[in-house]
Amino acid sequence: MKPYFSSREIRALMIFLPLCVLAVAGMRLARPKAGPAEVCAVAHEAERPADSVRLFRFDPNTIDYAGLRQLGLTAYEAASLLKYRAAGKVFRIPEDVATCYGFTDSLYFRLAPYIRIGRKYAVAPPAYRSERVVRQPLAPAPFLIDTVSALYLRAIGALSKRQAEALVRWRDLHGIRDMEELRECYVVSDSVAAALEPYVRFAVRHDPAAERVELNRADSAALCSVYGIGAKSAAAILRYRERLGGFRCVEQLAEVREVTERNYERIVKQIWCDSCEIQKIDINFAAPNTLMRHPYLPPRIVRKLLRERQLKGGWTTVGELVRQNILTEEEAARLAPYLRFGSRNDPGNDAASHGEALEMQERIY
């Protein structure tokens, strides 16, 4: 049987192995031995707190390792808390900190005064949840309804947030001049109005009857000064007045689409009409476009007028238009103040037609 090693290899191993043993023994002899104090320090390194201890308020859900060490925790205790969080645990109340592995009661009682659980993690008892807390309302004081804010109405407990905002929008759109108009707001109940009445104050305004606006001479600025007329409705009134030739009476203002029924009741108390300012149409000579522009002359009547005027040549009184079935008595009474008959320089025909128009209006109305 052939041997595993040759005689030469055996001699080399016998020399190499003693040399290795000597080298290892020399290295161990050359290494300095640790004293008992050093061995204790190494063994208890994880138990030694940080050199500078500083207690401060902290949230155990967000504090890092360095912060824990500054609080005086050992490396082992700080790592234990971080492992607790890494496992998906959340500190809901301060007492949860005491459940960390390695935390003693003395350590928890030392940290307890400084533990602050953030709102994101804390669990509040149902009786103290923020949505169930009813704030103490402010004591109401006299306030001006024209300038009061929705925030103040909420603060005194008069209305909810949505109701207060709705009241302010209503006031800005319609205006509130007295308690009656305040009660008209759909969010103000009778009980709320009764509670607010001792404190609500209304702005002092001039008597509109003492400073009435003449409707046929007023410009846009004068119309906007009337309570109940805004910029949009003022422009609509001026356009309608131009088409009409002027207002004969204040009731005609209700024919303007932009004037609501509620605002109309306010406006009529602040305006008056001078019927002498009406611009009349000479029905015997007016162009078709002029006739078509008038709101009281629909196309069917204009076609009849033009056809009969071409055949007959014209009219002298509004009664002739009724007798020829061009106008009904109601249409003639409404249109008569805006018509001229005959020559523009013949005042006699105008006086006769005006007298007939008044007689017809009295008969109808």
196 with 230, same domain: the answer is no
335 pLDDT more than 80: yes
Residues in the chain: 365
CATH number for the domain spanning 254: value is: 1.10.150.310
User: Is there a domain that residue 133 lies in?
Assistant: no
pLDDT of residue 210: 55
286 with 350, same domain: the answer is yes
User: Is there a domain that residue 25 lies in?
Assistant: no
What is the tally of structural domains in the chain?
A: 4
A 10 A CB-CB count for 244 gives 20
355 pLDDT more than 70: no
CATH number for the domain spanning 58: value is: 1.10.150.320
For residues 140-147, average pLDDT: 86
For 335, list phi and psi in degrees, rounded to 5: -90, -20
pLDDT tens profile 54-74: 889 999 999 999 999 999 899
Alpha helices in 274-346 (DSSP H): 288-293, 299-312, 318-323, 329-335
Give the structural domain span for 97. 47-123
268 with 287, same domain: the answer is no
164 with 114, same domain: the answer is no
pLDDT tens profile 144-198: 888 888 888 888 888 888 999 999 888 887 778 888 888 888 889 888 888 889 9
pLDDT tens profile 16-53: 788 888 888 877 777 655 555 454 444 455 455 555 78
Listed residue (180, 145, 177) closest to 159, CA to CA: 145
User: Is there a domain that residue 24 lies in?
Assistant: no
User: Is there a domain that residue 338 lies in?
Assistant: yes
User: Is there a domain that residue 63 lies in?
Assistant: yes
For residues 306-314, average pLDDT: 87
CA–CA separation, 36 and 350 (whole Å): 134
301 with 319, same domain: the answer is yes
